[in-house]
Amino acid sequence: MFLQSLLVSVVSFTALVLGSPIPAKSPHSVQFVTDRNEKRFFDYATHQYSDPVRGVNIGGWLVLEPYITPTLFEAFRTNAYNDDGIPVDEYHYAQQLGQDIAASRLEAHWSSFYTEQDFKDISDLGFNLVRIPIGYWAYEKLENDPYVMGKQAEYLDQAIEWAGKYNLKVWVDLHGAAGSQNGFDNSGLRDSWAFLEDSNLQVTTRVIEHLLDKYSQDEYLETVVGIELINEPLGPVLDLQKMKDQYYTPAYNYLRNTLNRNQIIVIHDAFMAFNYWDDFLTADSGAWGVVVDHHHYQCFNNDDLQKSIDEHVELACSWGKGVLNEAHWTVSGEFSAALTDCTKWINGVGVSPRYDGSFNKDGETSSYIGSCANNEDISSWSEERKQNTRRYVEAQLDAFEMRGGWIIWCYKTENTIEWDLQRLTYNGLFPQPLTARQYPGQCN
């Protein structure tokens, strides 16, 4: 299936090792197959989206995350006192169930958690883009992988069709790499950082080349306006130079020079500081159609959780200002309304919240800030908490629209509020229409 991609990969890797990477072509050498009478969503002349991205992530669907669909994981519970025996990610979920049972349960989940109605509703709420995560194991597995390689790719194609029907654009997001790129459960495999080991890198490269090839074809270009090479590679623990030389650059060259196509490439910032990527795959270097994806949260460390709402807003506004002079066009591809980490399993299965002082992992502890009791019962929220959440959301939207826009994480969950766009909107914590403001001018 991937033989042609594999041969191209070998050529690209060989060229890089020999110190002669394939030169990037000018956009003027490519026929713009997305030319229409209407305005393009991505303007190749200015290297930016022509309209602000106002999007939402389709999380917890084709890549499992325990906090999004806890009922799938609660089926493993053995006692009421701790999470012993509950799988921590999709890898261990499939491993513990075995292929047949895991496939049956996942098929039921894929066919029901998102439907066409969701995409219509997203469009009706005024969003213009969805970012859809998928794991490498939807296309190819390592020899000993327990993952179910089922119908995820078919559901992705169905989702793209629904998106097009309701005038939504799509980012296809490779959310999990072989060996894991970050050790987070959202990569499919927690507590592993082996993405750049050669055998894992080869598998991931074949998969991304398949995605680049498929979704840069004419039939998809009207709807798919970005392919994210990998979600959230953990820069502080990875060899970023190797990632650039042996993954990002070959993927770019494969799309531009081998396929000779003009799809948009999205690279995540790897949690590095603003402007870190300013000397990589830029227009000045001859590259084109590259967007940098920044993810921003204020609920995963003690310092952020202890901030006042004014401090939360100030930091959110600084995110918008921080990208104004970056060399690439940028979008905030993930953020949330969360000002606590009280949602069950948001820190991972078996890990307690920092907010209520019960966190204890790898020697890190936390001090009490507030109670997490009844966190998912909106009637228990004070008016101050509701107002603060709305303020924080609006500040982020205003900040991210200083440049390319935003994609909130995520559209729906089974029971949490802070991470669920549907519940946030229903409870008046997220603007509707999207441009409405109860707290205007916070980032002025």
Clarify whether 232 is annotated catalytic.
yes
Task: Tell me the one-letter amino acid at 148.
Answer: V
Q: Per DSSP, which regions of 262-342 are E strands?
A: 265-268, 290-295, 329-334
The rounded distance, in Å, linking the Cα atoms of 59 and 166 is 19
Active-site residue, selected from the candidate residues 90, 209, 232, 376: 232
Token couple for 163: 């998106």
Query: Which letter does DSSP use for residue 246 in this model?
Result: I
CB contact set of 275 (below 8 Å; sequence gap of 6+): 325, 326, 327
Task: Tell me the one-letter amino acid at 192.
Answer: S
The rounded distance, in Å, linking the Cα atoms of 89 and 87 is 6
The rounded distance, in Å, linking the Cα atoms of 444 and 432 is 22
Active-site residue, selected from the candidate residues 90, 334, 394, 418: 334
Clarify whether 334 is annotated catalytic.
yes
Q: Any bridge partners for residue 53, and if so which? A: 405
The rounded distance, in Å, linking the Cα atoms of 387 and 428 is 10
Q: What is the bridge-based pairing of β-strands 364-365 and 360-361?
A: antiparallel
Token couple for 409: 């994480």
C-alpha distances in Å from residue 142, one per residue of 91, 308, 332: 12, 46, 32
Q: Per DSSP, which regions of 243-328 are E strands?
A: 265-268, 290-295
Query: Which letter does DSSP use for residue 39 in this model?
Result: P
Three-state DSSP at 133 gives strand
Helix, strand, coil share of the chain (percent; to 5): 35, 10, 50
The rounded distance, in Å, linking the Cα atoms of 180 and 136 is 10
Q: Any bridge partners for residue 365, and if so which? A: 360
Distance of alpha carbon 291 from the chain centroid: 14
The rounded distance, in Å, linking the Cα atoms of 346 and 359 is 12
Token couple for 186: 């959202």
Please confirm whether the linkage preceding 410 is cis (ω < 30° from 0): yes
Distance of alpha carbon 236 from the chain centroid: 18
Token couple for 178: 């072989």
The rounded distance, in Å, linking the Cα atoms of 442 and 444 is 6
Residues taking part in catalysis: 232, 334
